[in-house]
Structure 1
Amino acid sequence: MSCLCRLSWILGIFILLQVVCEARVPRAMSFVATSNNQFVLNGAPFLFNGFNSYWMMNVAVDPSERHKVSEVFRDASAIGLTVCRTWAFSDGGDKALQISPGVYDERVFQALDFVVSEARQYGIRLVLSFVNNYNDFGGKAQYVQWAKNAGVPINSDDDFYTNDVLKKYYKDHVQKVVTRLNTITGMAYKDDSTIMAWELMNEPRCQEDYSGKTVNDWAQEMATFVKSIDSQHLLEIGMEGFYGDSMPDKKQFNPGYQVGTDFISSNQIKEIDFATIHAYPDLWLPGQGEDSQLAFVQRWISSHWTDAQTTIRKPFVFAEFGKSKKDPGYSLSARDSYINNIYSNIYNDARNGETFAGGMVWQIMAQGMESYYDGYEIVLSQDPSTAGLIGAQSQKMTALARSL
């Protein structure tokens, strides 16, 4: 190795260590707010590159495994990722946060305390989701089972959105989380700016009412409730972006079916601060080729960005996207190309209008988490090419925010 190469290598190691050490210093963090259809932080436009790591509380329950949470925050911070979306729920079952309605495992709550505290240490903001649409980690089906066990007459899992008992279970959980006093920081969650936003539900869907009205009414009631106990944090619904009955002509952009939500009407709710979309063309359009799936995603992004700009008039976030290793013909280069294409759409739309605030790739994990793999996992320390393009997007979004 030449002297020059050795010097460059040493300098690179020094910079990396400096980044990691600086990331460990607790940051002074202000609340992210909204103004004129965009996020603002300390009066300046706030754009970000973010990620999903739903598993953090679940893993942190075991103190010997908490280093995995720290590893992800450390590596994410080092490549400029500044927002992480994760679960603030685990209903019934193994490592349950909420064992039964209103009954909580303090050990699991302290694991969530650790996640919030550790995020702050690394300067990463959190989007915390209150409940799942799906059965994983309990979800609305667990709420329904609890009600059935209590003798409440239930017709289907979609009674979650309309039954008064079930709605009270949900509100009680929201109140418990929002008012939680963090045992590590000593700060109530509702007063902690580490939390960027609350999410009402991960991907709400309703098979009983494809118009979107049932979910819309529920979102209105719950958004009003959340804001009544916490007016400082931003709030979003957790929607995938499916169009409903309020603008029938928009249904052409759906992937051939509906899920019982209405992207337009629900995101127009006054208490909802920003709109989200998710996209999984490999799951939504099975059997279609790469080009068709990519074309769908580009139309999906463009249509919703236009809605956010002209109709909803609120910030807009691409809150879930990724490419699965389980897809036929998968390759690392194909995944990188797909993610980079999404990043280009996000950046170009953010540059051309105020509303597009950022994207959140699904999903980042630590080493040694094979039991959690879903095909979309990215381990930054093991995937340098993917880490590199994620870091490049972070730099571009940061530079764009400074130029606005």
Structure 2
Amino acid sequence: MPLSRRALLAALAASPVLGAAAAKPKGFVGVADGKLVLDGKPYRFVGSNLWYGAWLGSPAAYGDRARLGRELDKLKSLGVTNLRVLGSGETSPAKVAMDPTFRGPGEDYSADLLTGLDVLLAEMAKRDMKAVIYLNNFWDWSGGMPAYLNWTGNGTWFQQGDPAHPWPEYPDYSARFYGDAKANALFRHYIKAVVGRTSTVTGKPYRDDPTIMAWQLANEPRPGGTEAFGVANLPTYYRWIDETAAYIKTIDPKHLVSTGSEGAMGCLERESCVVEAHRPAAIDYMTLHVWPNNWSWIDFKNQPGTYEAGEAKCREYVTRHIALAKGLNKPLVIEEFGLIRDDRAFTPGAPATYKDRFYQTIFDLTLADMKAGGPVAGTNFWAWNGEGRAQQPDAWFKRGDTHFVGDPPQEEQGLFGVFDADVSTLAVIKAHAGAIARL
């Protein structure tokens, strides 16, 4: 059961390592003077999203540890040293949801996927990589918050994209999760199991593993979708962030904790919401996602004609959030950003003129801020497809597919991800990694 607020505060008061100024053991990423640090030096990185890492590491038939090793080697050769990975997944009736998953409504969590996470972390440690592990999802492609609501009977369950429940009904529904005590009791039991886990590969408790940079509350948690529901839900949303982050710290005080927020676009377009969501002492750094196609800043169907104006909005969006991070005196990680290839192609190696330009834009903003001594610590592009390929002719994920790519089941396999054949994009990533290494 969840700790009471009083018990949480008492436990945290007794913790010697909570807070931005706390010293970290050797090899652990920490925070000092509003920046990420590692062993007394600035910690800067080029990273990727690899949500399916635990699936590849699993001993089950869908696992592929040989591929996992090859993907990590390829990423390391590009200069990628930080991976944002999924450490959860809930059984869901959604047609586009992952299967298998880490858990159902009971406490019999998947030994195969938990072992897969152990393997992933062990293989990353061999390559001196750091992991950010998110523990829930606002979106239902991994089950996520709607799966918990389905288990507790909180409203009529429906999947994202259901025409009978047009947007923004979905974000209002998913955001009920924060105030659902039963759902959060289930979630906290899972948090305790994962954050308090001991690796079956290394024999080391997760809390003692410096391979983990941070635990993350969820992928893109939002307070809601409509103004009416979202604003009314803000106090509950803030409280959930504060108390869940603090709860993680009671289990593991050595690692950082982050929200997984997109920034203002995932916070009712309010900068005040971003600030309040990242203000708690147990939240160590700010996160930011940049999705110009999905936000209609750059048109899926007319990328050439809308790119310039969309890129300008992206620059301004990043700049605004750098200022917010400075105001909070906390580091900032641009942990998701993506753009489609030319003509919305899914084919590995297809022309990526604007995608490459967009990556370069984010990388240039990042490098400039690092040189200026700003709060930006690194980036994680979305996402690494590597040698994965769509298994279905229409490029949509089908339950049982095992050729995992970075594009989740809710979208075409290849829409935003970076394949090992995307030569021009790989060159942009590698060049940026080299520039950071020379700082």
Shorter-normalised TM-score: what interval?
A: 0.7 to 0.9
Quick check: 1:392 aligned with 2:431? yes
2:148 is matched with which residue? 143
Query: 1:196, 1:234 within 8 Å by CA — same for their partners in 2?
Result: yes
Corresponding position of 1:3: none
Per mean C-alpha deviation after superposition, the further-off stretch among 322-331 and 235-244 is 322-331
CA offset at residue 242 of structure 1?
1.1
Distance (whole Å) between structure 1 residues aligned to residue 272 and residue 240 of structure 2: 11
Which residue number in structure 2 is paired with residue 70 of structure 1?
69
Establish whether residue 134 from structure 1 lines up as the match of residue 150 from structure 2: no
CA distance in 1, matches of 2:222, 2:343: 25
* Aligned 8 A contact 2:334 2:380 in 1: yes
Distance 1:92 1:124, change over 3 A: same
Q: How does 1:3-402 map to 2 (within 5 A)?
A: 30-61=27-58, 62=60, 65-93=64-92, 94-148=99-153, 156-207=173-224, 208-210=229-231, 212-242=234-264, 258=269, 262-285=273-296, 288=299, 289-309=306-326, 311-325=327-341, 331-371=351-391, 372=405, 373-380=413-420, 382-400=421-439
After superposition, the CA RMSD in angstroms is: 2.5
Q: Distance in 2 between matches of 1:187 and 1:135?
A: 32
AA at the equivalent of 1:265: E
Q: Which amino acid aligns with 2:290?
A: A
On the 8 A contact 1:243/1:264 being kept in 2, the answer is: no
Partner SS, residue 80 of structure 2:
coil
Q: TM-score, normalised by structure 2?
A: 0.76
- Following TM superposition, by how much is the alpha carbon of 1:349 offset from its aligned partner in structure 2, in angstroms? 1.2
**Structure 1's 221 and 326: CA in aligned 2 closer, same or farther, altered over 3 A?**
farther
- 1:127-166: per-residue Cα shift (whole Å, max 9, x none)? 00000101111100111111129xxxxx944331012111
Secondary structure, in 3 states, of the residue corresponding to 1:143? helix
Q: 3-state SS of the aligned residue for 1:112?
A: helix
Deviation of residue 101 (structure 1)? Answer: 3.4
Superimposed CA distance per residue, residues 329-369 of structure 1 (whole angstroms, 9 cap, x where no aligned partner): 99412211111111001100111133111111101123133
Is contact 2:342–2:353 with CA below 8 Å preserved after alignment? no
Distance (Å, rounded) in 1 between the aligned partners of 2:271 and 2:331: 23
CA distance in 2, matches of 1:348, 1:368: 33
Q: Structure 1's 113 and 160: CA in aligned 2 closer, same or farther, altered over 3 A? A: same
How many residues align structurally? 357
Distance 1:274 1:159 in 2: 25
Q: 1:334 to 1:233 in 2, by over 3 A?
A: same
Deviations 1:106-145 (A, max 9, x none): 1121111111111111111100000010111110011111
TM-score, normalised to structure 1's length?
Answer: 0.82
Whether the 8 Å CA contact 1:50–1:361 is kept in 2: the answer is yes
Instruction: State the match for 1:7 in structure 2.
Output: none
Identity, % of aligned positions: 25
Structure that is richer in helix per residue? 1
Name the CA distance, whole Å, in 1 between partners of 2:231 and 2:67. 40
Q: Do the aligned residues in 2 keep the contact of 1:243 with 1:261 (CA within 8 Å)?
A: no
The question of whether the paired residues in 1 share the 8 Å contact of 2:385 and 2:414 is answered with no
Question: Judging changes above 3 Å, is the alpha-carbon distance between structure 1 residues 296 and 115 closer, same or farther for their aligned structure 2 residues?
Answer: same
SS state at 1:278 partner:
strand
Change (3 A) 1:261 1:140: farther
Answer whether contact 2:48 2:84 (CA < 8 A) is retained: yes
1:57-100 deviation digits (Å, cap 9, x = unpaired):
23333465222222221111112111000100011152121122
Output the amino acid matched with 1:282.
N
**Contact between 1:79 and 1:391, CA under 8 Å: does it hold in 2?**
yes
* Alpha-carbon distance in structure 1 between the residues aligned to 2:272 and 2:187: 19
Question: CA 1:390 to 1:179, structure 2 compared with 1: closer, same or farther past 3 Å?
Answer: same
